[in-house]
Amino acid sequence: MLSLIVFDFTTYGTERNYAKRLASSIVDRVRMTDEVGLLDSKRIGVILPFTGIDGARLLAEEIISNAPFTKRAPECTIHTYPSNWWTDNKYISNQLDRYKGPLDCNSRLEDISLSMKVSTERSDSTTAKNIASEVVFSKSIKRLEPLVTCAMPTWKRQLDLLGSAFAFALFSPVFLGIALLIKAVSPGPVFFRQKRLGYLGKTYNLLKFRTMHVNADSTAHEQLAKDLITSVDGENGNGKPMKKIDNDPRIIPFGRMIRNLCIDELPQLINVVRGEMSLVGPRPCLGYEAAKYRLWNAQRFNTIPGMTGLWQVKGKNRLSFDQMIRFDITYARKKSIWFDLNILFMTFFAIATQIRDLKKRKKA
């Protein structure tokens, strides 16, 4: 979590010394971990790491109350990150009401930020205390994500469209064969649709080939996800490996084979064409998983999710949840066209290794 306070002194026009005096007042009141600097010629920004809305508001109030105003106070806006996407999904919204875990940091995570404006003209006799009383808090949403994240690069979108067209042409017979197989062994739809959280935590409908019975109970998976996210290994601090449920009774005939060959993921090419996913990126998570995230885990939402990713080619189910998140964050920071191509190339070897290991376990 972090907050950004922006002081806009545009109304002071050509008063040169005002910015210097305001900056000095700010620097005197911030912590060593905070950062102060000019956003442009008329705005000063203050970055407050690990600080929620309440802490940022207290600092802004103090600065406005004591800054050297001559006519009127500057407009002050507080942005917070992560912001209201935590409550976009019904699973998160329902569980945040009960959950008091790692999401609590300095203050309860809110779905709004506060915009502070002082627009009332005042005389020289107006005291600092009167200024503080003139501060008006409004519930205007000011999301910081657009300021600290980057949109999908043009090269990545072009690679996704080109790769998807090639994959559709290559795997179209597989699409037809798997669809007929699912229809033959289990009543219900061919595709499985599920709400997932993507870029900046926005929800979308992920598509997969259905490998479970219709209306299968997800309670066991929710409990497993909770255990994996919250587990910590005392020796290495990484937690339990990200393994799936053994002998899952919900899986339809041939469903395990479809999963082991990763064929169930192919319909996500449709998500890629829609722009909801990429060929390469973090694994898209479920709402009830995100509800258990610690604040630093949210950095994985800074890039669009993918069909494959760094986690998948570096060990997948042999790795813990924390290791997966670290690989996701590493990818979000380092992504490039050559990095994506390398991961796509390594994915084929990862699938081949997975199939080889499965054959060895069957023989054993």
What is the structure's pLDDT at 91?
45
The average confidence (pLDDT) of the chain is 76
Confidence check: pLDDT of 294 > 50: yes
Cβ-proximal residues to 347 (8 Å cutoff; 6+ apart), any chain: 308, 312, 313
Q: Distance (Å, rounded) from C-alpha 296 to C-alpha 306?
A: 20
Which of the four pLDDT bands, split at 50, 70 and 90, describes residue 309?
Answer: very high
SS3 content of the chain, % helix, strand, coil (to 5): 50, 15, 35
Identity of residue 153 = P
**How do residues 196-232 score in pLDDT, each as one tens digit?**
988 878 889 999 999 999 988 878 778 887 788 877 5
**Owner of token pair 């007929």:** 180
User: Any idea which of 98-107, 223-232, 250-259, 302-311 has the lowest mean pLDDT?
Assistant: 98-107
Going through the chain in order, the beta strands assigned E by DSSP cover 2-8, 35-40, 43-49, 75-81, 115-117, 136-138, 191-197, 203-209, 278-280, 306-308
What domains can be seen in the chain, in order of their start residue?
2-148 (3.30.70), 154-363 (no CATH)
Going through 227-344 in order, the beta strands assigned E by DSSP cover 278-280, 306-308
Which of the four pLDDT bands, split at 50, 70 and 90, describes residue 130?
Answer: very low
Which of the four pLDDT bands, split at 50, 70 and 90, describes residue 136?
Answer: very low
Q: Distance (Å, rounded) from C-alpha 352 to C-alpha 304?
A: 26
Supply the pTM of this predicted model: 0.65
**How do residues 49-88 score in pLDDT, each as one tens digit?**
878 777 888 888 888 777 665 556 677 888 876 654 444 4
Give the DSSP H/E element, type plus range, for residue 304: none
Confidence check: pLDDT of 234 > 50: no
**How do residues 263-288 score in pLDDT, each as one tens digit?**
999 999 999 999 999 999 999 988 88
